[in-house]
Amino acid sequence: MKLISIVVPMFNEEEMAPLFIKAISEVFANIPNYDYEIVAVNDGSKDNTLNILLEEQEKNNKIVIVNLSRNFGHEPALFAGLKTAKGDAVIPMDADLQDPPEVIPELIKKWEEGYQVVNARRVSRKEDSFLKRKTAGMFYDWSDKISNKVKVPQNVANFRLIDRRPLDEILEFGEKNRVFRIQVPYVGFKVCEVLFSRPKRAKGVSKYNPKSMFSLAISSTISLTVRPLEWSIGICIFLAVICGLSWISQATFFVLKLTNVLNIGELNLWFWLIINVLLTVGFLILFVIAILSQYVAKNTIETLARPAVIIDEVIRK
């Protein structure tokens, strides 16, 4: 019998954990020719998530608990789960039922047709807030523009089915800045998608805030491409042209002054022009440094070569 692993990172999901497990068990009760495991990663929850998972495990031996040594964040927690999962196919999901379990049989069906990655794409985000929809839209447009050969599918988050073969490739990656939704299109293989509409979070609150969303956007960009680094060359050329023009204007100014063509009023004009040019130049330099610093920062983390996540223990029944 083929084994399907559901991987679910949980941070303070005491309300959702039992509901999630119930929903998944119901789905698999309807497809009895597949075995399943629920790899629940407790990402250093401050609430009762771990105890509730242990209780649930008493009733259902399909649950594997991966207890992290502290809160590492959604992506590292997902990675810990993916490493632990033993399935022939693995489906990462959020605990809040925003990735509807009803879609699972469709994902498996496509997998059986021979697709190794089955993306679940959101057709509607009506239930997300205006800000979240807008920023997510901007992020997908942006990643589409900057990526080269790797095409990041629009409106596909972590929810998808991935076959053991591409998953093993991803687990081999040495990087610490792991962004699953970028790694999957990177490895390629036979890909298709199914559509679903995204419901509201069933219970509890979102663990993402504007800051963590911005940081995910930066991590994704860096994981996707080094293109912004290349832009800095273009910006520098532009900068050189501006500096050249500024020098030429100053030279012209001196010539005009020497030949008594210019009076004081015009001199003031020139003064402000030069100030503006300097400000622009300053801004552009800072902009290039800002891009560089992001890459250098991520590089520093890679150089430290610390593990992306630390599992305290894996609890099986």
98 binds ligand UDP (CB under 6 A): yes
Secondary structure, 3-state, the chain: CEEEEEEEEECCCCCHHHHHHHHHHHHHHCCCCEEEEEEEEECCCCCCHHHHHHHHHHHCCCEEEEEECCCCCHHHHHHHHHHHCCCCEEEECCCCCCCCHHHHHHHHHHHHCCCCEEEEEEEECCCCCHHHHHHHHHHHHHHHHHCCCCCCCCCCCCCEEEEHHHHHHHHHCCCCCCCHHHHHHHHCCCEEEEEEECCCCCCCCCCCCHHHHHHHHHHHHHHHCCHHHHHHHHHHHHHHHHHHHHHHHHHHHHHHHHCCCCCHHHHHHHHHHHHHHHHHHHHHHHHHHHHHHHHHHHHHHHHHCCCCCCEEEEECC
Binding residues for ligand UDP restricted to 203-262, rule: CB under 6 A: 206-208
Nearer to ligand UDP, 97 or 288 (CB): 97
Among 4, 5, 9, 232, binds ligand UDP (CB under 6 A): 9
21 binds ligand UDP (CB under 6 A): no
Query: Of Mg ion, ligand UDP, none, which one sits near residue 43, judging by CB under 5 to 8 A according to partner kind?
Result: ligand UDP
Among 60, 71, 249, 294, binds ligand UDP (CB under 6 A): 71
Nearest residue to 92 via CA among 170, 152, 147, 31: 170
11 binds ligand UDP (CB under 6 A): yes
Among 43, 64, 85, 119, binds ligand UDP (CB under 6 A): 43
Among 5, 6, 13, 17, binds ligand UDP (CB under 6 A): 13
Among 24, 66, 82, 95, binds ligand UDP (CB under 6 A): 95
185 binds ligand UDP (CB under 6 A): no
Query: Of ligand UDP, Mg ion, none, which one sits near residue 13, judging by CB under 5 to 8 A according to partner kind?
Result: ligand UDP
For the bound state, the minimum distance from the C-beta of residue 62 to ligand UDP, rounded and expressed in Å, comes to 18
Among 12, 57, 98, 143, binds Mg ion (CB under 5 A): 98
Q: How many whole angstroms from its chain centre is CA 263?
A: 59
CA 34 to CA 69: how far, in whole Å?
32
56 binds ligand UDP (CB under 6 A): no
96 binds Mg ion (CB under 5 A): yes
Query: Of ligand UDP, Mg ion, none, which one sits near residue 163, judging by CB under 5 to 8 A according to partner kind?
Result: none
Nearer to ligand UDP, 11 or 115 (CB): 11
Residues that bind Mg ion (CB under 5 A): 94, 96, 98, 201
Residues that bind ligand UDP (CB under 6 A): 9-11, 13, 43, 71, 73-74, 77, 94-96, 98, 201, 206-208
